[in-house]
A and B are shown apart, each in its own frame.
Chain A
Amino acid sequence: MIRLREVEKTFHAGTVNEVRALRRVSLEISDAAFVVVLGTNGSGKSTLLNALAGSFPLDAGTIELDGSDVTRWPEHRRARFIGRVFQNPFSGTAPAMSIAENFALAMRRGRRRGLGWALPRSLRRELAERVCSLKMGLEDRLDTAIGTLSGGQRQALTLLMATWLRPRLLLLDEHTAALDPKSADQVIRLTEEIVTRDRLTTLMVTHSMQQAVNLGERIVMMHRGAVVHDAAGPDKHRLRVDDLLARFEDIRRRELLDPTAAELLAAAYV
Chain B
Amino acid sequence: MTLLLGALTLGLIMSLIALGVYVSFRIFGLADITVDGSLTFGAAVTAVLIVVHGVNPALATAAGFAAGVVAGCATGLLQTRFRIDPLLSGILVMTALYSVNLRVMGRSNIPFLGATTLATWSERLARRGLGAGDVALFGWSVNGQDLALLGLIAAIVALAAGALYWFFRTDIGTAMRASGDNAQMIRALGANVEAYRVVGLALSNGLVGLAGSLWAQYQSFADAQMGIGMIVWGLASVIIGQALTGAPSLGYAIVGTVLGSVLFRLLVAIALGFGLNPNDLKLITALFVFVALVLPSALARLPWDRQRWARRSEPAEVPT
Q: Which residues of A contact B (CB under 8 A)?
A: 53, 74-77, 79-80, 82, 84, 86-97, 101-102, 104-106, 108-111, 113-119, 145, 151, 161-162, 178
Is the CB–CB distance between B181 and A96 below 8 Å? yes
Is the CB–CB distance between A105 and B318 below 8 Å? no
Tell me, rounded to whole Å, the shortest Cβ–Cβ distance linking B193 to chain A: 7
Q: Which of A95, A104, A118, A161 contacts B182 (CB 8 A)?
A: A95
Is the CB–CB distance between A115 and B170 below 8 Å? yes
Give 6 closest A-B pairs by Cβ, nearest first: A79-B190, A110-B190, A94-B181, A118-B174, A113-B171, A94-B178
Is the CB–CB distance between B181 and A88 below 8 Å? no
Q: How far is the CA of A110 from the CA of B175 in the complex (A)?
A: 12
Q: How far is the CA of A51 from the CA of B319 in the complex (A)?
A: 22
16 more A-B residue pairs beyond the given contacts A82-B188, A91-B182, A96-B177, with a C-beta to C-beta distance below 8 A: A76-B190, A76-B191, A76-B192, A79-B188, A88-B320, A97-B181, A105-B174, A108-B189, A109-B189, A113-B175, A114-B172, A118-B170, A145-B248, A151-B318, A161-B189, A178-B320
| Chain A hits for B191, CB < 8 A | 76, 79, 113
CB of B169 within 8 A of chain A? yes
Tell me, rounded to whole Å, the shortest Cβ–Cβ distance linking B306 to chain A: 21
Is the CB–CB distance between A97 and B190 below 8 Å? no
| Chain B hits for A53, CB < 8 A | 188
Is the CB–CB distance between A118 and B185 below 8 Å? no
| Chain A hits for B170, CB < 8 A | 114-118
Is the CB–CB distance between A90 and B318 below 8 Å? yes
Q: How far is the CA of A88 from the CA of B184 in the complex (A)?
A: 11
Tell me, rounded to whole Å, the shortest Cβ–Cβ distance linking A211 to chain B: 18
Chain B positions 162 through 202: 1 when the CB is less than 8 Å from some CB of chain A, otherwise 0: 00000101111111011001101111111111000000000
Return 7 A-B CB contacts under 8 Å, by A number: A79-B191, A87-B320, A88-B317, A97-B178, A108-B190, A118-B170, A118-B171
Is the CB–CB distance between A113 and B178 below 8 Å? no
Q: Which of A79, A101, A106, A114 contacts B187 (CB 8 A)?
A: A79
Interface size class of B (residues with CB under 8 A): 20 to 34
Q: How far is the CA of A241 from the CA of B154 in the complex (A)?
A: 70
**Residue of B whose beta carbon sits closest to that of A158:** B185
| Chain B hits for A109, CB < 8 A | 189-190
Tell me, rounded to whole Å, the shortest Cβ–Cβ distance linking B22 to chain A: 14
State the total of A-B contacts with C-beta under 8 angstroms.
101
Tell me, rounded to whole Å, the shortest Cβ–Cβ distance linking A153 to chain B: 14
**Contact A95 B181, CB 8 Å, known A87-B320, A101-B174:** yes
Tell me, rounded to whole Å, the shortest Cβ–Cβ distance linking A138 to chain B: 18
Restricting to B10-57, which residues have a CB under 8 Å from any CB of A? none
Q: Which residues of B contact A (CB under 8 A)?
A: 167, 169-175, 177-178, 181-182, 184-193, 248, 317-320
Q: How far is the CA of A189 from the CA of B177 in the complex (A)?
A: 32
Q: How far is the CA of A243 from the CA of B279 in the complex (A)?
A: 78
| Chain B hits for A86, CB < 8 A | 184, 188
| Chain B hits for A108, CB < 8 A | 171, 175, 189-190
| Chain B hits for A105, CB < 8 A | 174-175, 178, 185-186, 189
Q: Which of A75, A116, A117 contacts B188 (CB 8 A)?
A: A75
| Chain A hits for B193, CB < 8 A | 76
Q: How far is the CA of A117 from the CA of B317 in the complex (A)?
A: 33
Q: How far is the CA of A87 from the CA of B318 in the complex (A)?
A: 10
Q: How far is the CA of A94 from the CA of B248 in the complex (A)?
A: 14
Q: How far is the CA of A97 from the CA of B182 in the complex (A)?
A: 10
| Chain B hits for A104, CB < 8 A | 171, 174
Is the CB–CB distance between B171 and A76 below 8 Å? no
| Chain B hits for A119, CB < 8 A | 169, 174
Is the CB–CB distance between B187 and A76 below 8 Å? yes
Is the CB–CB distance between B174 and A92 below 8 Å? no
Is the CB–CB distance between B181 and A79 below 8 Å? no
**Contact A90 B317, CB 8 Å, known A105-B186, A109-B189:** yes
Q: How far is the CA of A94 from the CA of B187 in the complex (A)?
A: 11
**Residue of B whose beta carbon sits closest to that of A86:** B184
Q: Among B171, B175, B318, find the residue whose CB has the most chain A CB atoms closer than 10 A.
A: B171
